[in-house]
């Protein structure tokens, strides 16, 4: 078929490409149109030639008929793979394959309405599309909302849809749960229970509790990130793992690099551990697997740990400790997640009267509102405690 094509300027740097495909059985001309953003007429002609080639190769999909499942490939190759972190992309693909695509795959992009998005998100509260029982948490539903918003934002930017249906859908309300944390007394008990553990694991726990680092941030620490004179720890990377990339270093969550001042006792322990690790590297010689990196926490050959290592060790440590306590007819030590040690760091500071802004900066939250939402319950308790102190101060019976 000999296709005829023409271009028409529609605005500044905007050109409409039109290709004629002949006539249908009713004598109506069949046309394919596409609007592109280019600088001049010469570039528009080049785009027209590419458009004709695309149609001739039968690779062209009419935008008005493109289905959600087809567009996902466009979104992944032209946006997600370049703009999203590998970890986020892997998580989005999990949501798409396990939940979203079974519902939206065969729907035309321009026929997805806000009510469809709202109904889908609402359904996740009670049912799932991955075969498991029960609904999803509000924070996990928020992730579904985020990936759908990203996809339709890209579709709108490329004029595939006029409006992003996610923008007018009912946004999920994230309900922040009350985290399990250790009290000050429990932290002291934990430190005592750790005394027979390897030094690196003791330090992982103490860094989580006293500095508030995330698991990946702890494992990404290198000795150059610690200033032993100023007691400053520089957090500018996180260690992650995906099936495609393996282990890799990336920016911390929210892209927020930060500097946290560590307590003096922790710096002293890190100094001692530094000497130990330097001896390890010297002994490893040509067998050293760290390459140019010198991680604070690694194998004795310098190889970084997988992100799951701290949590796996932590669960086994609690199992072992509670097994010993049971034999001694003592009450078990409270179980919390390794990540909850970071939440413990925040609540300890709250109980010491620290300002939420400082806590937010130490933890690397995107903003102070996230801190207020996450630890609102503990902040309210601290606020009530402050009122009680004032009550005692001005109570005539006390005076």
Task: Reply yes or no on whether the pLDDT at 242 is more than 50.
Answer: yes
Pair 34, 73 in one domain: no
Residues 111 and 50 in one domain: no
Which residues, in sequence order, are CB contacts of 106 under 8 Å at separation 6+?
A: 67, 68, 69
The residues pairing with 240 across neighbouring beta strands, listed in sequence order, are 248
Q: What pLDDT is stored for residue 394 in this prediction?
A: 55
Residue 168: inside a domain: no
Which residues, in sequence order, are CB contacts of 21 under 8 Å at separation 6+?
A: 1, 3, 30, 31, 32, 55
Mean pLDDT calculated for residue range 9-23: 83
Sequence-separated (6 or more) residues with CB below 8 Å from residue 118: 169, 170
- Whether 312 and 241 map to the same domain: the answer is yes
- My answer on whether 105 and 196 are in the same domain is no
* Residues constituting the chain: 399
Statement to judge: residues 52 and 102 lie in one domain:
no
3-state secondary structure (DSSP) of residue 16: strand
Strand partners for 248? 240
Residues 143 and 245 in one domain: no
231 & 349 share domain: yes
Residue 172 lies in a domain: no
Domains held by the chain: number: 3
Q: Establish if 296 belongs to a structural domain.
A: yes
Considering the domain architecture, whether residues 49 and 73 belong to the same structural domain is answered as no
What whole-number distance in Å separates Cα of residue 141 and Cα of residue 282? 49
Does 276 share its domain with 358? yes
44 lies in the same domain as 72: no
Between 59 and 139, residue with greater pLDDT: 139
Counts for the chain of helices (H) and strands (E), in that order: 16, 8
Percent of the chain exceeding pLDDT 70 equals: 86
Report how far residue 103's alpha carbon sits from residue 124's, in angstroms, rounded to the nearest whole number: 12
Determine the structural domain holding residue 122 and report its residue range: 68-157
Is position 271 within any domain? yes
Q: Given this model, what pLDDT does residue 74 score?
A: 87
Q: Where are the beta strands (DSSP E) in the chain?
A: 4-11, 14-23, 29-37, 226-227, 232-235, 238-242, 246-250, 258-261
Q: Which of 108-122, 126-140, 345-359, 372-386 has the highest mean pLDDT?
A: 108-122
Whether the CB-CB separation of 91 and 120 falls below 8 Å is answered with no
Q: Is there a domain that residue 364 lies in?
A: yes
In order of 129, 144, 211, 272, 370, the CA distances from 136 in angstroms are: 10, 10, 31, 45, 21
Q: Determine the Cα–Cα distance for residues 351 and 75; give it in Å rounded to an integer.
A: 46
Element (H, E) at 343: helix 340-351
Last residue within a domain, chosen from 12, 32, 60: 60
Q: Is residue 326 within a helix (H) or strand (E), and if so which, with residue range?
A: helix 309-327
Give the C-alpha distances (Å, rounded to integers) separating 353 from 60, 347, 349, 358, 372: 62, 10, 6, 11, 14
- Phi and psi of 351, rounded to 5°? -65, -20
- Say if 163 falls within a structural domain: no
- Check pLDDT > 90 for residue 120: yes
Share of the chain above pLDDT 90, in %: 48
Cβ–Cβ contacts within 10 Å for residue 279, how many?
A: 10
pLDDT class of 139 with cuts at 50, 70, 90: confident
Q: Which helix (H) or strand (E) holds 76?
A: none
Q: Is residue 176 part of a domain?
A: no
The pair phi, psi for residue 25, each rounded to 5°, is -65, -15
Structure token pair of residue 77: 């190759």
pTM: 0.65
Q: What is the largest CA-CA distance in the chain?
A: 100
pLDDT band at 5 (very low <50, low <70, confident <90, very high): confident
At 346, list the tokens.
């925040």
Mark whether 78 and 222 lie in a shared domain.
no
Q: What is the pLDDT of residues 67-84, one digit of tens each?
A: 999 899 889 988 998 888
Domain end position, chosen among 60, 81, 104: 60
Q: What pLDDT, in 10s, does the model give residues 168-226?
A: 999 988 775 666 888 889 999 999 999 999 999 999 999 999 999 999 999 999 999 99
With H, G, I as helix, E, B as strand and everything else as coil, classify residue 241. strand
Domain end among 122, 157, 192: 157
In a domain, 388, yes or no: no
Q: Could you tell me if 339 and 201 lie in one domain?
A: yes
CB distance 130 to 98 below 8 Å: yes
């Amino acid at each position: 078929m000999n296709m005829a094509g023409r271009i028409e300027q529609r605005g500044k740097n905007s050109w409409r490409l039109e290709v004629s495909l002949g006539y249908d059985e009713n004598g109506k001309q069949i046309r394919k149109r596409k609007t592109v953003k280019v600088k001049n007429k010469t570039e528009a002609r080049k785009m027209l030639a590419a458009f004709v080639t695309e149609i001739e190769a039968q690779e062209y999909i009419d935008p008005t008929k493109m289905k959600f499942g087809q567009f996902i490939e466009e979104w992944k190759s032209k946006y997600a793979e370049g703009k999203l972190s590998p970890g986020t992309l892997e998580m989005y693909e999990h949501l798409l394959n396990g939940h979203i695509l079974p519902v939206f795959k065969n729907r035309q992009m321009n026929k997805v309405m806000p009510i469809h998005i709202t109904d889908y998100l609402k359904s996740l509260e009670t049912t799932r599309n991955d075969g498991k029982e029960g609904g999803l948490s509000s924070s996990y539903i928020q992730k579904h909302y985020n990936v759908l918003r990203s996809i339709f934002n890209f579709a709108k930017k490329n004029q595939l849809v006029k409006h992003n249906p996610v923008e007018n859908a009912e946004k999920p309300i994230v309900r922040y749960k009350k985290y399990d944390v250790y009290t000050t007394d429990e932290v002291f008990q934990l430190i005592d229970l750790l005394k027979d553990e390897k030094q690196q694991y003791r330090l992982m726990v103490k860094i989580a509790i006293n500095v508030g680092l995330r698991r990946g941030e702890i494992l990404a620490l290198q000795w150059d990130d610690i200033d032993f004179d100023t007691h400053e720890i520089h957090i500018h990377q996180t260690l992650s793992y995906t099936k495609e990339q393996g282990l890799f270093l990336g920016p911390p969550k929210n892209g927020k690099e930060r500097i946290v001042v560590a307590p003096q006792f922790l710096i002293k322990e890190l100094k001692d551990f530094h000497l130990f690790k330097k001896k390890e590297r010297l002994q490893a010689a040509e067998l050293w697997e760290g390459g140019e990196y010198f991680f604070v926490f690694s194998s004795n050959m310098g190889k970084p740990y997988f992100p799951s290592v701290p949590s796996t060790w932590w669960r086994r440590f609690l199992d072992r400790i509670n097994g010993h306590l049971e034999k001694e007819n003592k009450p078990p030590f409270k179980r919390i997640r390794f990540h909850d040690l970071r939440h413990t760091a925040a609540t300890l500071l709250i109980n010491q009267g620290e300002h939420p802004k400082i806590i937010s900066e130490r933890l690397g939250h995107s903003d102070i509102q996230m801190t207020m939402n996450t630890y609102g319950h503990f902040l309210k308790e601290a606020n009530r405690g402050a009122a009680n102190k004032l009550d005692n101060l001005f109570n005539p019976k006390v005076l």
